[in-house]
Amino acid sequence: MSQVIARHVEGVTFIGRAKSNHWVAMDGPEHFGGAEAGTRPMELFLISLAGCTGADVASILNKMRVKIDKFEVHVDSERASEHPKVYTKIDITYKFWGKNLEAVKDKIEKAINLSQDVYCSVSEMIRRAGIPVNHTYELIESE
């Protein structure tokens, strides 16, 4: 059995499913034959990166008993102008909201570094392809 299946709907609209059995809609822009009915495949790639490293960091911080009120992973990228228009640079910004986060800054840094250097398979695949993956973080004090 295939690990992933992408089923053509119409135009360039597809629905995809993996072993988790959840369907994801993918589509392209109207000028390319799409219906704007789903996330673009290259966007899903970046979403998978954000989800992979985000899950790592959240899990590690939980094990360290670090309390965070809110956590987001923002990914910005640059792409080549010529086909196949691969990513040429990826920047990840981890944003944390909470009280007195400066006191746990070292733990937050450690969690991010463990994700990027050890656990996040998506980040590692990107780096092995020679694409720079940079990361920073922001600590935002909750009221």
pLDDT at 1: 57
Superfamily of domain 41-141: K homology (KH) domain (3.30.300.20)
Q: What is the pTM of this model?
A: 0.92
The beta strands (E) that lie in 46-86 are given as 70-79
142 is written with which tokens?
């909750």
Return the pLDDT at 143: 80
CB-count exposure of residue 9 (10 Å: 0-12, 13-18, 19+): middle
DSSP 8-class letter at 65:
T
Report CA-CA distances (Å) from 136 to 2, 57, 76, 96, 100. Answer: 37, 13, 12, 11, 19
Reference 140, options 99, 109, 93; nearest CA is: 99
- Residue 76 neighbours by CB distance under 10 Å: 11
Query: Could you state, in order of their start, the residue ranges of all structural domains in the chain?
Result: 1-39, 41-141
Peptide bond into 132 cis (omega under 30): no
The full DSSP string for 106-139 is: HHHHHHHHHIIIII-HHHHHHHHTT--EEEEEEE
Tokens of 89: 């640079």
Kind and range of the H or E element at 94?
strand 87-98
- Tens of pLDDT along the chain (143 residues) come to 569 999 999 999 999 999 999 999 999 999 999 999 999 999 999 999 999 999 999 999 999 999 999 999 999 999 999 999 999 999 999 999 999 999 999 999 999 999 999 999 999 999 999 999 999 999 999 98
Determine the pLDDT at residue 88: 97
